[in-house]
Structure 1
Amino acid sequence: MSDLEQRLREEKNARLKLIVTDGVFSMDGDIAPLDKICELGDKYNALVFVDEAHATGFFGKTGRGTEEYHNIIGKVDIINSTLGKAMGGASGGYTTGPKELIDLLRQRGRPYLFSNSLPPPVVAAGIKAFDIVLNSNNLAERLRHNTKRFRDAMTKAGFTIGGSDHPICPVMLYEERLASVFADEMLGELQPHLY
C-alpha cells in the first residue's frame, strides 16, 4: 500500500489516474485490501478498477464479491468480471462503471465491435445466476462451510494451505519437483475414474 501511495503521489499532475487490481488473486487466493485501495483512490483522486473474476457469485457474505467482503459496496468505480466461473455461463463477461466509460467501450472495444454477441442461453444462465445470488446466500454459505471443512482437514493432515478464507485453497509444497510428482500422482488417482 505504501508503494501504491508513493506512485499516486508521484503522478499528482496526471489528468487521469487509475488503480487496477484483482479483488482476489487467482493463484493463491490472496484478497486485495480493496477498502484501503479505495481510500487511496479518494485521497489522490484516482479511479479504482477491480477484476472480480475470482469473487463474483461466491465471495462476500452473499456472493457479491470483494466490495461486499470489505463492506464498501459502491466505492469501486469500475468492475470487470466473468460469467464463466461461479455464474455458470461458461463464457462472456461484463464491465460496470460510469455511463461514459460504458459508452466508450461500446464504441471502441474491439471484442464488442468484432465479435459475436453472447448466445441467448448464456445470457439467460447469467441472468438466472445473478437472480440466485441476489435472492439467497445459501450457496455462498455452503461454499464457505465446505471451504473451512477442506482447509481444516488438509491442515489436520499436515498440509500447509495458503491464502485466507477464500475458496481458492493453494496446497503449499514449497518445492517445484515435489509439486510435479504430487500432481502426477493425483492425476494417476483420478484417471481410472474418468472413463
Structure 2
Amino acid sequence: MANVGVIPSAYESRLSPVFGETHLGHPRQGKLGENDAVGWEVFSEELNHASVVDGVRLAKAKISRFPHKNMKHLAEAIGESKMPSKFIVSDGVFSMDGDIAPIPAMADLAREHNAMLMIDDAHGVGMLGANGRGSLEHHGVASTDVDLQMGTFTKAFGGVGGYVSGDQEVIDFLRISARTYIFSAPLPPAIAAGVTEAIDIAEREPWRREKALENAFYFRREVESRGYETLGSEAHIVPTLIGDELKAAEVTCLLRLRGIVAPHARYPAVALGQARIRFVMTCQHEREQIDFLLGCLAEMRETLNL
C-alpha cells in the first residue's frame, strides 16, 4: 500500500500549488487536475515488485520498462526521453531473485537527467549494509542521492506496516495526498511499540543479520553444487529454479511432508516456465537444518527429474 499510494502522489508533488519547486529544483508545472501525470515518464525496472507496478499504473504516466539491471538501456532510454519530468523506480533487493539493484548507477543517471529516484528497499532494510540500513548503505550511496526510500516492517522486523522516507517537504505533501495513507487505519500502538523494539534489536545485535547472510551464502553455494540455479541471488533470499509450475508445486508439497515450509513462486508472479522455490534464510536456522533441506532437494532432483 505504501508503493501504491506514494508513486502516484510523488508525481503530483511537482504540480502542487503548495510548493513552488521541489528539493530537486524542478519548477512547478501548473495546478493539479485530471491530467496530473502529463509530462511524466517513469522508468521502471522490469522485475519490480507488483506493488510498484500497480503504483506506476495508477499514476497514468508514460511508462518505460528497462531490462533487469541493464543500466546501458536505462541510460539510452532516459537520454532519449522528451518528457520534462522523469522518475526512476526500482527494488533494492529483488524479491523473487534475491539480487541487488545497481543503485549507484541509477543515482548517477537521476542526477545527470534531473530525475526523481525511488528505491523500494522492503527486502534490504534490516539485512544489508554495515549497520543494516539497507541497499543504499550496502552500496555506499547517501540517502540524499535517493529522493524516496520505501521500506516495510513486515520483513526483517517481523511486524506490520510500510513507510517511505525522503525530504521533509515531499513527505509533508505525501501525508495529505497519498490515498492509501489517508484512508487506511494507523498502526495499532502495540505493533508500533514492537517494531520500535525490533529496530533497536537490529541495531544492538548485528550478529543476527550476519548469521542470516552467512546461512544464505552456505545454502546458495551448496544447492548450486547439487545442480540447482539460484538466479544470481546475492542476499538472504535464495531462489532455486524448478522451471515447470506443476513440479514446483510438487516440491513444495514434498518438502512440507518433511517438515519444511517452502512455498513456490509460479506464473504470473514470475515468468512462465520460471517457477521456483523461494527460500529465505534467517539467523534462527542451524547448519544441521540447512543440510537436511539440501539432502531433501538432492533427493527430489533425482526422483522428479528436475
TM-score range, shorter chain: 0.7 to 0.9
Q: CA contact under 8 A between 1:12 and 1:44: conserved in structure 2?
A: no
Cα offset for 1:12? 4.9
Q: CA contact under 8 A between 1:19 and 1:41: conserved in structure 2?
A: yes
Q: SS where residue 116 of structure 1 aligns?
A: coil
TM-score with structure 1 length normalisation? 0.88
Q: 1:119 to 1:43 in 2, by over 3 A?
A: same
Structure 2 residue 75 is the aligned partner of structure 1 residue 5: yes
Larger RCO: 1 or 2 (CA < 8 Å, sep 6+): 1
Q: SS where residue 24 of structure 1 aligns?
A: coil
Q: What corresponds to 1:181 in structure 2?
A: 250
Q: SS where residue 183 of structure 1 aligns?
A: helix
Letter in 1 for 2:136: E
Q: CA contact under 8 A between 2:97 and 2:230: conserved in structure 1?
A: no
Q: Deviations over 1:117-169 (max 9, x none)?
A: 11111111222222233344221111111111222332333333223321110
Q: Deviations over 1:39-64 (max 9, x none)?
A: 11111111110001111111223321
Q: SS where residue 19 of structure 1 aligns?
A: strand
Aligned positions of 1:91-170 closer than 5 A = 91-170=160-239
Q: What corresponds to 2:108 in structure 1?
A: 39
How far, CA to CA, are the matches of 1:157 and 1:9 in structure 2?
A: 44
Match of 2:139 among 42, 59, 70: 70
Letter in 2 for 1:99: Q
The structure whose Rg is larger is 2
Q: Deviations over 1:151-191 (max 9, x none)?
A: 23323333332233211100112333432322222233338
* Richer in helix (by share): 1
How far, CA to CA, are the matches of 1:158 and 1:176 in structure 2?
A: 18
Q: CA contact under 8 A between 1:59 and 1:69: conserved in structure 2?
A: yes
More off after superposition, 46-55 vs 113-122: 113-122
Stretches of structure 2 lacking an aligned partner (at least 5 in a row): 1-70, 261-306
Q: SS where residue 53 of structure 1 aligns?
A: coil
Letter in 2 for 1:160: E
How far, CA to CA, are the matches of 1:79 and 1:187 in structure 2?
A: 36
Q: SS where residue 238 of structure 2 aligns?
A: coil
CA RMSD across the alignment: 1.9
More off after superposition, 1-10 vs 95-104: 1-10
How far, CA to CA, are the matches of 1:143 and 1:51 in structure 2?
A: 21
Structure 2 residue 88 is the aligned partner of structure 1 residue 19: yes
Stretches of structure 1 lacking an aligned partner (at least 5 in a row): none
Moved over 3 A (4+): none
How far, CA to CA, are the matches of 2:244 and 2:182 in structure 1?
A: 45
How far, CA to CA, are the matches of 1:176 and 1:112 in structure 2?
A: 36
Q: CA contact under 8 A between 1:61 and 1:141: conserved in structure 2?
A: no
Q: 1:13 to 1:185 in 2, by over 3 A?
A: closer
TM-score with structure 2 length normalisation? 0.58
How far, CA to CA, are the matches of 2:156 and 2:166 in structure 1?
A: 21
Identity of aligned residues (%): 37
Letter in 1 for 2:119: V
